[in-house]
Structure 1
Amino acid sequence: MVIGVPVALAATSEQLAWRGPVYILAGFAGIIALGLVLVQPLLIGGVLPGLSAYRSRRVHHWIGGALILAVVIHVAGLWFTSPPDMIDALTFSSPTPFSPFGVIAMWAIFAVALLASMRRRLGLRLRTWRAVHIPLAIVIVIGAVVHCLLIEGTMETVSKAVLCAAVLAAAVKVMVDLWRKRMVRSENLARQ
């Protein structure tokens, strides 16, 4: 519902009448990407019902791949429709205030994906992985939310704000829960 309503309302936007199919596809890929950013912490936090911890992690990996695909479609579609605008965005010289936030979030997503794919080869232990992944996840969430909120496009304002608030709330909840679990674990080890 939190993801479907903004997508459905964007599909009814009058602004779509002046856009080509590639631009529309790129825009909807961006909306889907934000929805996937919402799902990721819910999976790791074990919030979604009916999934074991193992299955949640496996789905988290697959959703991560879908997120990368959505971002690539978003950026490639925008590049196809306006290469000069994308060059400005990627070189941080765009006059639009939303561009740097999207670019930073994109690079953080790619960094997480690269590290995740090389985690075993690099011998990253879980503690080290979390120390790298959590700050990058924070950058992804904040960058994606600010990027989305600053864009005045096909997304309806209220549903966009609700989706962005849900992304932030999910990320904060899961990070606080993980921190609490770590604190309890540390206290239990100290007592032993």
Structure 2
Amino acid sequence: MRLAKVTLIWAALAAAIGVPIAAAAVSPLLAWRDWVYILASFAGIVALSLVLVQPLLIGGYLPGLSAYRGRRTHHWIGGALVMAVVIHVGGLWITSPPDMIDALLFSSPTPFSPWGVVAMWAIFTVAMVAALRRRLGLRARTWRIVHMPLAIVIVVGGAVHAILIEGTMETVSKAVLCALVLAATAKVMVDLRVWRRRKTLRGESVARQ
């Protein structure tokens, strides 16, 4: 791959992540918030950004990373995603415990809360199953069956959660980031399914011979 193309891909990813963070950093809404709320808000933005990186890694779309390094980085980013969500939820809990209790009990009047809570539990579930995968004896096929639906829940829930919130993030850059998250996830799922189908057909062809 040419250097110009490699540079363009990494620059596009940096812009997709950096622009929403930079726009949120100059939001006038931060002037009336304490540092805990600000930390929690930016942890949420970072979490959404990491959700964009995950399918790019597993699909091998980021140049300069081998398949092995891509998978390893995917695992580490997953851990960072969990930490970002914990900071996001923990900070909001410190800022307003009643609101967080309502959200966790699905009794909050805000429409974005249930989407975020469902995505959060899906993230925790994936992390827990991944950590216990060897002890549970999960094969690669079983792990995909568990992981893929939960990944869809994380992506859709996280994107809708972010879109419905009228807060720190700037509207246009937030919408673009969410659209990229959905598009990247859809592409990697289609590509991996096609690759596995070709592999299966190739194996059946060899067996017939």
TM-score range, shorter chain: over 0.9
Q: Residue deviations 1:47-70, cap 9 Å, x none?
A: 001000000011001100100000
Deviation at 1:83, TM superposition (A): 0.2
Determine the C-alpha separation between the residues in 2 that align with 1:191 and 1:58.
33
| Correspondence for 2:46 among 22, 32, 56 | 32
Answer yes or no: is 1:139 the counterpart of 2:190. no
Deviation at 1:190, TM superposition (A): 1.7
Q: TM-score, normalised by structure 2?
A: 0.91
Secondary structure of 1:165's counterpart equals helix
Secondary structure of 2:132's counterpart equals helix
Determine the C-alpha separation between the residues in 2 that align with 1:119 and 1:110.
14
Q: Which residue of 1 aligns with 2:106?
A: 92
Q: Residue deviations 1:86-136, cap 9 Å, x none?
A: 000000000000000000000000000000000000000000000100000
Identity among equivalent positions (%) equals 73
| Larger radius of gyration between Structure 1 and Structure 2 | 2
Q: TM-score, normalised by structure 1?
A: 0.99
| Correspondence for 2:116 among 82, 95, 102 | 102
Deviation at 1:178, TM superposition (A): 0.5
**Structure 1 gaps, min length 5:** none
Determine the C-alpha separation between the residues in 1 that align with 2:103 and 2:62.
35
Deviation at 1:185, TM superposition (A): 1.1
Secondary structure of 2:138's counterpart equals coil
**Structure 2 gaps, min length 5:** 1-14
Secondary structure of 2:62's counterpart equals coil
Deviation at 1:40, TM superposition (A): 0.4
What are the equivalent positions in structure 2 for 1:116-131 lying under 5 Å apart? Answer: 116-131=130-145
Answer yes or no: is 1:111 the counterpart of 2:92. no
Determine the C-alpha separation between the residues in 1 that align with 2:163 and 2:145.
28
Superposed structure 1 runs of 4+ greater than 6 Å apart: none
- 1:182 partner letter: R
Paired residues in the alignment total: 192
What are the equivalent positions in structure 2 for 1:30-179 lying under 5 Å apart? Answer: 30-179=44-193
RMSD (Å) for aligned C-alpha atoms:
0.5
